[in-house]
């Protein structure tokens, strides 16, 4: 992995922009993280309030960046409104997991797909990552389908792999390598749990 800049660089495709997190993102992040889908499918604290948002945006994310344990960005639209967050987390050498949380106002717009493509380009091209992983709780078919659209390989069912607020959960894990084409790797279908 190459040397990191001191803070997240701005990445954009002209439709979405990945930037360093800031105080101005607090209000929308609270809305995003209080959404029932976020509570169901992510590990955000429940309940979630402005103090939790400030800690994540202004303390946790910058410290994780400096420590090299997670690389987080805020995702904004062309008007500068927060759509969600994306990260490279659980970094292990040249391998990392992609994590994301988008608000209900951004779902179905293609923003998450665009943001993840920017993140993957940066991870593979600039940072020199060799593998990225996608983990979704069992039943989160929208997340699994997004990994498919990004070119990740066929997901594998892993029972009891992740913890969510004290509960052990089953999940699906998919991988993409820097050398993979990013074309659709298989025909989409809802996977069958083992």
SS3 label, residue 41:
helix
**What pLDDT, on the 0 to 100 scale, is given for residue 41?**
97
- Residue 38: how many other CB atoms lie within 10 Å: 20
- The answer to whether 111 touches 84, Cβ cutoff 8 Å, is yes
H or E stretch including 86?
Answer: strand 82-92
Picking from 74, 78, 83, the residue whose alpha carbon sits closest to that of residue 106 is 83
Q: What is the dihedral of CA 41, 84, 176, 43, to 10 degrees?
A: -30
Instruction: List the structure tokens of 105.
Output: 């106002």
CATH code given to domain 11-177: 3.40.630.30
**What pLDDT, on the 0 to 100 scale, is given for residue 194?**
53
Picking from 130, 140, 67, 133, the residue whose alpha carbon sits closest to that of residue 102 is 140
User: What are the residue boundaries of the structural domains of the chain, listed by start?
Assistant: 11-177
DSSP-assigned letters across all residues of 117-186: HHHHHIIIIIS---EEEEEEETT-HHHHHHHHHTT----EEEEEEEEETTEEEEEEEEEEETTS--S--S
pLDDT tens for the chain, 194 residues long, are 567 778 899 999 999 999 999 999 999 999 999 999 999 999 999 999 999 999 999 999 999 999 999 999 999 999 999 999 999 999 999 999 999 999 999 999 999 999 999 999 999 999 999 999 999 999 999 999 999 999 999 999 999 999 999 999 999 999 999 999 999 989 998 887 65
SS3 label, residue 81:
coil
Picking from 142, 122, 103, 112, the residue whose alpha carbon sits closest to that of residue 15 is 112
**What pLDDT, on the 0 to 100 scale, is given for residue 177?**
98
- The answer to whether 151 touches 118, Cβ cutoff 8 Å, is no
pTM as predicted: 0.94
């Amino acid at each position: 992995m190459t040397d990191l800049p001191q803070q997240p660089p701005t990445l954009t495709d002209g439709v979405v922009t990945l930037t360093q997190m800031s105080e101005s993102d607090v209000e929308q992040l609270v809305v995003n993280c209080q959404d029932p889908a976020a509570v169901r499918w992510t590990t955000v604290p429940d309940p979630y309030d402005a103090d939790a948002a400030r800690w994540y945006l202004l303390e946790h994310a910058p410290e994780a960046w400096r420590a090299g344990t997670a690389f987080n960005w805020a995702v904004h639209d062309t008007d500068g409104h927060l759509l969600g967050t994306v990260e490279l987390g659980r970094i292990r050498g040249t391998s990392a997991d992609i994590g994301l949380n988008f608000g209900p106002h951004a779902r179905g717009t293609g923003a998450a797909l665009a943001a993840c493509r920017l993140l993957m380009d940066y991870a593979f091209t600039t940072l020199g990552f060799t593998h990225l992983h996608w983990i979704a709780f069992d039943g989160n078919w929208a997340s699994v389908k997004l990994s498919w659209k990004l070119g990740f390989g066929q997901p594998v069912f892993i029972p009891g792999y992740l913890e969510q607020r004290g509960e052990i959960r089953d999940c699906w894990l998919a991988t993409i390598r820097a050398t993979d084409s990013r074309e659709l790797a298989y025909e989409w279908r809802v996977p069958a749990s083992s």
